[in-house]
Amino acid sequence: MSAATARPLREIRIDAEALRHNVATLKPLVAPALTMVVVKADAYGHGALVAARAALGGGADWLGTADLDEALALRAAGIRAPLLAWLHGPDTDFGPAAEAGVDVGVSSLDQLERAAAAGATVHLKFDTGLSRNGIQADDAPAVIARVAELQRDAGLRVRGVFSHLSGTSPEEDLAQLARFELAVAALAEAGVHPELRHLAASAAAIALPATRLDLVRIGIASYGLSPDPRVPVDVLGLRPVMEVSAGIAHVKRVPAGEGVSYGYIHRTAAPTTLALVPLGYADGVPRSASGGASVAIDGVRHPVVGRIAMDQFVVDVGDAPVAVGDRAVLWGDPATGAPSAEDWADAAGTIDYEIVTRVGGRAARTVVGAPQPAQAARATPPAAAAGGLA
């Protein structure tokens, strides 16, 4: 292999064009609702700035983060699109949000007072049954009264009202929608009319149209992965954005009965060839997937055997002509023959969200497919979508 075509030993390859395509595919599906692409947690492990630019290139109207620091980092990198951050500590200073034009979600009276004092634009979050953050039903009357007072007397801008669904079932999600509508109605009665109502994340945005409202928050589906086994994304034409791979570091022929890796939880059933993949749990490869996952080499699946170690794991390739330097793809686009992140999640007893967000360690990151940052200069939030509940 020439130096010009050499790839890093361990590589996380991000296809920015696939992300742009996914957003452009989802946008008309959820219309007339606006689209917020969620880039929290370094864009679910995909790289926040790359993801932000590609998402805006695909037509995203908003970007969302959990922490304010994540949003401010995007502003510092030149992203001018509308941004919302919604998870705050007790000492979060909302002044920088106001200065940078980052909207903040508020979940309590204390957060409301501090955000208003800083001059920040807010989205009011109501707890409709997920029992995480959000204004509780018992507290809602007092908070709403204070919102109306701050709006009238102090110029508070309430751009949005939102909540988050549990995804337990369509029936449970629609019950949360009903509770959300009560909160919106109570705000209206107090004279507070937010521009944007948002409730649905990836699963509901795709599968439960009634929850789309004025804006949807698309997270994992933007990255070409399924938010729920009941919500397949391949039929929508979405493509996985992340591929994780490594060059084979060692190949050996072994006899039947040979123990493999720590604890000998696997012994070879017949003479076979073992290939060593230089990725391990230090790089975010789940140890719990030992003996259950597979990799693709030249488009052919081969099982992971023995325990996954800190730096490496072993693959049984049988009699396949695998050589040192060949590429083992852990997860990527199944259309290429690779396992999916969901395949690894199933082997590890977890979800695809965790598989992609935890990967990293020593692996080099390569971006392919040019992000399209032209829309990143837009700083004015778009108007709310027309109409009521879709």
Binding positions for substrate are 132, 310
178-184 contact pairs (CB < 8 A, 24+):
179/126, 179/128, 179/129, 179/137, 180/126, 180/128, 183/126, 183/128, 183/135, 183/140
Biggest distance spanned by C-alpha atoms of the chain:
81
- Helices assigned H by DSSP within the chain: 16-30, 40-44, 48-57, 68-76, 95-100, 109-118, 140-154, 170-189, 202-207, 341-348, 352-358
For residue 273, the one-letter residue type is T
Selecting among 27, 44, 252, 262, the annotated active-site residue is 262
Q: Binding site, residues?
A: 132, 310
Catalytic (active site) residue 40: yes
Catalytic (active site) residue 262: yes
| Residues present in the chain in total | 390
Cβ atoms 173, 165 nearer than 8 A = yes
Question: 91 CB contacts (<8 Å, ≥6 apart)?
Answer: none
Q: How far, CA to CA in Å, does 64 sit from each of 20, 44, 173, 228?
A: 16, 12, 21, 20
Selecting among 27, 40, 125, 353, the annotated active-site residue is 40
Dihedral of the alpha carbons of 349, 351, 353, 354, in degrees to the nearest 10: -10
Peptide bond before 28: cis, by omega within 30 degrees of 0? no
Cα–Cα distance for residue pair 86/107, rounded to 1 Å? 8
Active site residues: 40, 262
